[in-house]
Every structure is written in C-alpha cells, then in structure tokens.
Structure 1
Amino acid sequence: MALGSRPLFPIRRRYRFFQSPEIAGPHRWEGILLKTVLLLRHAKSSWDQPGLPDPLRPLAPRGQKAAPRIGAYMARSRILPDLVYCSTARRARATWDLVSGKLEHQTDVEVREDLYHASPGSLIELIKELPDSIGTVLLVGHNPTFEDLALALTGGGDEEGLREMAFKYPTGALAVIDFSIERWCEVRAGEGVLRTFVKPRAL
C-alpha cells in the first residue's frame, strides 16, 4: 500500500504525559484526566494448515516471539490496561496470553466474539459504552478493522507514528491513543491523540 493511499488526519500538537509509576489507571496531562485506548493487533499467525478454520489458526513461531516483546515494552512503559477485550480467535487469545505474561499486572479480561467480525464503527460504540471507572482499555483483534479504527480515532499526536500507522499496521503492533475526556461516551472520531505506535520488529 502506498504511503499516500490513506489520508492522514491533521497533526495538532505533541503532548507530554505524566503518570505515577504505581498508578496503572487513568493518565493525566497537566492535570487533565485522560482515557486511553490500546489497540493491539494479534501477532503473526500460521498458515501451515490450509484446511483449518480461520478462528482456529495458531500463532506462527515469529508471532510467538513478537508478542512477549510487546508485553515487555508495555511493562517498561507502564502501559497497563484496566480492562481487556479480546477476540475469540485463537491467535488473538494466544497473543494476549504471551503479552500478559510480561505485565505482572492483574486485569479483567473478556473474550468477545463481536471483536472477530467487528467494524470500526461498532468498536467505537463498544468503547463509548465502557464503565467510566475504567481508565485504560486494551482491545486485541484484527485488521483491517484495527488499522481503520486507529486512523479514525486519531486526530494528532506522534507524527512519525501516524505516518507509520497509515502506511501499515503490522501483526503485533500496538497503538496507544489518549482522549482528554472524563467519560467514555465522549469519545469522538478524530479527537484522540496518538501517544505512540509500536511494532515488534522495532523492539
């Protein structure tokens, strides 16, 4: 896919985030409460069994190595979800299992069938229905939905990350998107700020 084939949302400004190391919930930016959406595409899956139904495909060896690297990065960066929504697909569940093994952080996990065939619009509605007690939610799912969702939600932030995300959202990649809101129902397309976009190969 050519770099110019997807429109980039305008870059507004860079933000600095301050979070106490012992706090894994809502972030703050200069005193403003933030909600954070983490979008993790499942790690590289195997195609070695052509007759296997798509939801049952396992991770490839490359994916088994990549997912723990993302988990270790999240732990180092204190990117810790309060709630995880994970697709029912085997490769998505295996990705979360490997990521969570590096976090040493207890969180509620819901395995949801609606993430397997979700559209960007349906996921935005799902996010808007989150309990306001949740500060950070992690969604583990699939492309092209996650790439389209990340581009739809973000209206600025890390410029290099936005360019990379628009070019390709590879397996195992993680987008960290912040919203300056108090309630999840206030989430709007184009109003999120991309804090970072991380690819396993870069770690």
Structure 2
Amino acid sequence: MKTLLLARHAKSDWDDPGLADHDRPLNGRGRGDAPAMARRLVDEGVAVDRIVSSTALRARRTAEEYAAAFGRVLVEEPRLYAASARSILRIAAELPDECTVGMLVGHNPGMSDAVGELTGQLAELPTCAVAECTVDVDSWAELIEGSGRLLGVRTPGDI
C-alpha cells in the first residue's frame, strides 16, 4: 500500500505584472498557509518519505515548508511545472519503492485533475490544499489511472 499526497502550492503574489509566471512568489496569505498546513499534517501524524516539487518559486516555497516540517530533503522536478494529470501520475510512478508516502507539490489544473484521474473522484484543490490518496500497490510503477482511493482533502480553510 502506498499513499500519495497531491498538494497545490500556496497563494501566490500577482503584484508584479512583469514577473514571469515561473518566478511568482507567495503572497502574505500563502506565506502563512504553507507552514500552517505543514504543521497540521505533522500534528495529524502524517509521515512523508519524499517530497517532489515543481521548480516554480511559489511551489518550491510551499514545498520547503513541508520539507522542513517532515525533516526531508526537497526534490525539484521541472516536469511538475504546468504538468497535466497524466504527467503528474507518471512522475508519481517514478517514486522509489522504499518510499511509502510520497508528496508532489504543483499547480492547478493538473493537481486537481490528477486526483480525479487517480481516484475517479472529482476534487477541486484550492491553493495550499492537500489531497490524500491511497494506492493498493507494492511498487509505484504499478500506479495507473483509477487505481487510487481519495481519503480526503485538507485545506487551509479547515485549520
């Protein structure tokens, strides 16, 4: 059994219209929500073995909060930036098998769509939301569309 946490980055800052999308930072709310969500997961007893993030600044900053909370090294994955649901699931299928709980931090619509592709359940992830999915496989390579079950979605509004 594997657990996949699909996380959308925290709220980003749109104040600088000349800034490239990839380089947008978190806004004030996002800088508060990311560590709060990380603490919530730790307080709930969630243990993450590997955290993989989009290279976009807002996703990396969000993922850094999770990495610090879980005491893990953050792995950056350029393919997660603007990734489709199928690309996200392919990246998840590449997680090392010794990893029981993996977390991918990325962007919508891909992250929400990936929850739907994996579990068959629609889940619209607001910023900084985390969807928890289980997959009854021994190897991440066995992960395919429809093979997962959505256990729940945590949002900053729930805190």
TM-score tier by shorter-chain length is over 0.9
User: Are 2:136 and 1:180 equivalent residues in the alignment?
Assistant: yes
Aligned partner letter, 1:176: E
Q: Deviations over 1:160-193 (max 9, x none)?
A: xx56x2xx31000000100111111211211211
Aligned residues: 159
Q: SS in structure 1 opposite 2:96?
A: coil
TM-score by length of 2: 0.93
Give structure 1 stretches of 5+ with no counterpart. Answer: 1-33, 156-161
Identical-residue share of aligned pairs (%): 37
1:98 alignment partner in structure 2: 65
2:80 alignment partner in structure 1: 115
Q: SS in structure 1 opposite 2:89?
A: helix
User: Are 2:48 and 1:81 equivalent residues in the alignment?
Assistant: yes
Larger Rg: 1
Give structure 2 stretches of 5+ with no counterpart. Answer: none
User: Are 2:15 and 1:48 equivalent residues in the alignment?
Assistant: yes
Which runs of at least 4 in structure 1 moved beyond 6 Å after TM superposition? none
1:197 alignment partner in structure 2: 153
Matching of residues 55-74 of structure 1 within 5 Å: 55-74=22-41
Kept in 2: contact 1:64–1:98 (CA 8 A): no
CA distance in 2, matches of 1:197, 1:142: 15
TM-score by length of 1: 0.74
1:19 alignment partner in structure 2: none
Alpha-carbon offset, residue 58 of structure 1? 0.7
Cα root mean square deviation, aligned: 1.4
Aligned partner letter, 2:145: A
Q: SS in structure 1 opposite 2:59?
A: helix
Aligned partner letter, 2:71: Q
